[in-house]
Structure 1
Amino acid sequence: MTFVIRAANADDLAHLYEMAKLTGGGFTNLPPDRNALTAKLERSALAFGHDDTSLTDELFVLMLENVRTGEVRGTCQLFTHVGQKHPFYSYRIGTLTQHSRELSRTFRAEMLSLTTDLEGASEVGGLFLHPGERAGGLGLLLARSRYLFIREHRPRFADRTLAELRGVIDEAGGSPFWDGLAGRFFGMGFQQADEFNAVNGHQFIADLMPKHPIYTAMLSEGARAAIGMPHPSGRAAMRMLENEGFAFENYIDIFDGGPTMTVRTDQIRTIREAQEAQVVAISEDGAAEALVATARLASFRCAYARIGTADGGVTLDREGAAALGVGPGDRVSWIGRI
């Protein structure tokens, strides 16, 4: 396999910026702003630079690189403990049931309540794959590499993990959900608010967002239809999350109404089922393709490789071993490809 996941470094700013310009908006964790991306890389470097085992507010940025050409074609991020410096807001979908004896009727109203229920969780996000590479399982490699990284550094991550999926965005780059709800209070369009949030954080939401529940019946038809719906390009990502054990539990993004998926960290399939073993030989015999990771922190690498069982450990194919930078005597974590 010619692609490998590695830790981001300062030289990746240009790659991140070029990818950010391709997202099409609504991608808060990858804003097309050089200063914001530089801050992310600096924060990530600090996280990769120490081997502390405590749970603090950190960010790890990973990159997908073609080892033959050196081209960077994707990225993903891990937030260890959200909501520590600024509130982590979501809308929770709920129902209020009321009964009228005089009318002999029961009324059920769907409501959106502003909440910080998910504060303190870890988050996997910022996953972007270059449009020219959306084949061959590279999206799956990006997504699952994060879980092998969490498994390797489990004490630095919370007991609950979330993933926010981008919501419905129209052809003009607007959000029906934003236009039908928050936009009425903020006096700005979705793109402007999303860019402001990506660069400056959520505090303006705390300052201006109404704190009382919102009856969805009062929203426009377009806004209601967008509640909990992923962007068409995010449906595959939603299926991947569901395969890992994530579920939609009625939390949505406050900007575009996209679904927030959650799971108990130790129940993530890749974390739960991955195995560890020592590489005993480089061999092609009896090998099956798997997701393989090695090393720690800034030397972390993850790639598809052909792995086989052997007395006292596993074998790796030559190309996979080269991509990972390992040989006999090194330890790897691995899980079969799904």
Structure 2
Amino acid sequence: MTFVIRAADRHDLSHLYEMAKLTGGGFTNLPPDRNALTAKLDRSAVAFGHDDTAVSDELFVLMLENNVTGEVRGTCQLFTHVGQKHPFYSYRLGTLTQHSRELSRTFRAEMLSLTTDLEGASEVGGLFLHPGERAGGLGLLLARSRYLFIRAHRPRFADRTLAELRGVIDEAGGSPFWDGLAGRFFGMGFQQADEFNAVHGHQFIADLMPKHPIYTAMLSDHARASIGLPHPSGRAAMRMLENEGFAFENYIDIFDGGPTMTVKTDQIRTLRDAQDATVVAVREGGSAEALVATGRLAAFRCAYARIGTTEEGVTLDPAAAAALRLREGDRVSWIGRI
């Protein structure tokens, strides 16, 4: 395997910008705006630059690089503590049950309530893989590398982790949820709001959105049907999250209505089941394929490897050892490839 996950640096701006232009809109954590992306890289550089164990509002950006050609083909992000600078709003889908004795009928109404329940959680997001690389398990490598990164820096992350999935966007680039709810209050279409969001964030939505519950019956059928559904391109990501232990607990994004998945951080499968070991040899012949991670902060690297296990530790194939910059005696974390 020639691909490796590494820390982003300021030279990755052009790579992020080119990938952002391929997202098709509505991808909040990867906007096609150079200033917004530069701010992300600057914020990430600060996070990688210190080893404070306190939980604070930080962002780490990771990149997927072809170790042979140097091409960058994917990215993902980790937020340590959301909602510290601005409230982290979500809609919670709930039910109000009422009974009428006179009519002998029970009425159940679905409602969307604005909430900050998820404030303080960590977030994994911003995962994008170049369309030309969507084979061979690279999406899984990107996704699971985030959990091995959390494991290596556990004190800096919260006890709960969330992942927001992009909601349904139609062929014209519009959002049924936005058009049916928020668009009525803001007087702008989804694409215009998406562009504003790329530069300023979606705090403007929270500031102006009505704070009282919204009855879903008042929305159009199209808008109501999109609540909690991921964008078609995000279905595989949703399955990967579910395999890690994430679940949909009726929280949705206030921007496009996409599902928000949550899990207790220490119950994330990759984080929980990974093992630590010493590299005892670099040689061919490993019988198992695994994700292997090493290093801390800016020195963090993760890749697929062929490994063999012994009582003393693990062996790695030479290509993976080179990609991960490992030698005999180095320490790694590893977990079998699913």
Range of TM-score over shorter length: over 0.9
Q: How does 1:284-323 map to 2 (within 5 A)?
A: 284-323=284-323
Q: Does 1:245 align with 2:240?
A: no
Q: How does 1:87-106 map to 2 (within 5 A)?
A: 87-106=87-106
* One-letter amino acid of the structure 1 residue matched with residue 111 of structure 2: M
Aligned match of 1:165: 165
The 1-side partners of 2:196 and 2:51 are apart by: 33
Aligned match of 1:82: 82
Aligned match of 1:11: 11
State the SS of the aligned residue for 1:18: helix
Q: Give 1:333 shift.
A: 0.3
Gaps of at least 5 residues in structure 1 are none
Aligned match of 1:216: 216
State the SS of the aligned residue for 1:147: helix
Aligned match of 1:36: 36
* One-letter amino acid of the structure 1 residue matched with residue 186 of structure 2: F
The 2-side partners of 1:57 and 1:207 are apart by: 21
Q: Is the 8 A contact 1:7 1:61 kept in 2?
A: yes
Q: Is the 8 A contact 2:78 2:124 kept in 1?
A: yes
Aligned match of 1:194: 194
Aligned match of 2:256: 256
Aligned match of 2:62: 62
Q: Give 1:284 shift.
A: 2.1
The 1-side partners of 2:169 and 2:286 are apart by: 47
The 2-side partners of 1:336 and 1:247 are apart by: 22
The 2-side partners of 1:195 and 1:84 are apart by: 23
Q: Give 1:286 shift.
A: 4.0
Q: Is the 8 A contact 2:286 2:317 kept in 1?
A: no
Q: Does 1:325 align with 2:295?
A: no
Q: Is the 8 A contact 2:167 2:226 kept in 1?
A: yes
**TM-score, normalised relative to structure 1:** 0.99
The 2-side partners of 1:270 and 1:332 are apart by: 14
Q: Give 1:15 shift.
A: 0.2
The 1-side partners of 2:309 and 2:218 are apart by: 60
Q: Give 1:17 shift.
A: 0.2
Aligned match of 1:282: 282
The 2-side partners of 1:190 and 1:90 are apart by: 18
Q: Give 1:298 shift.
A: 0.3
* One-letter amino acid of the structure 2 residue matched with residue 242 of structure 1: E
The 2-side partners of 1:190 and 1:234 are apart by: 19
Aligned match of 1:230: 230
The 1-side partners of 2:59 and 2:286 are apart by: 38
**TM-score, normalised relative to structure 2:** 0.99
CA RMSD of the aligned region, Å? 0.7
The 2-side partners of 1:21 and 1:202 are apart by: 19
The 2-side partners of 1:60 and 1:159 are apart by: 17
The 1-side partners of 2:164 and 2:195 are apart by: 17
Q: How does 1:94-173 map to 2 (within 5 A)?
A: 94-173=94-173
Q: Give 1:204 shift.
A: 1.3
* One-letter amino acid of the structure 2 residue matched with residue 293 of structure 1: A
* One-letter amino acid of the structure 1 residue matched with residue 296 of structure 2: R
State the SS of the aligned residue for 1:323: helix
The 2-side partners of 1:276 and 1:283 are apart by: 19
Aligned match of 2:46: 46
The 2-side partners of 1:103 and 1:206 are apart by: 39
CA distances 1:151-174 after superposition (whole Å, capped 9, x unpaired):
000000000000000010001110
State the SS of the aligned residue for 1:311: coil
Q: Give 1:191 shift.
A: 1.6
Q: Give 1:196 shift.
A: 1.6
* One-letter amino acid of the structure 2 residue matched with residue 181 of structure 1: L
* One-letter amino acid of the structure 2 residue matched with residue 261 of structure 1: M
Identity across matched positions, percent: 88
The 1-side partners of 2:280 and 2:44 are apart by: 33
* One-letter amino acid of the structure 2 residue matched with residue 258 of structure 1: G
Q: Which moved more, 1:193-202 or 1:300-309?
A: 193-202
CA distances 1:168-215 after superposition (whole Å, capped 9, x unpaired):
000111000000000000111112212222321233123210000000
* One-letter amino acid of the structure 1 residue matched with residue 5 of structure 2: I
State the SS of the aligned residue for 1:108: strand
What count of residue pairs does the alignment treat as equivalent? Answer: 338
Gaps of at least 5 residues in structure 2 are none
The 1-side partners of 2:275 and 2:219 are apart by: 49
The 2-side partners of 1:296 and 1:199 are apart by: 31
Aligned match of 2:177: 177
Q: Is the 8 A contact 1:86 1:201 kept in 2?
A: no
CA distances 1:224-273 after superposition (whole Å, capped 9, x unpaired):
01000001110000000000000000000111111000000000000000
Q: Is the 8 A contact 2:6 2:302 kept in 1?
A: yes
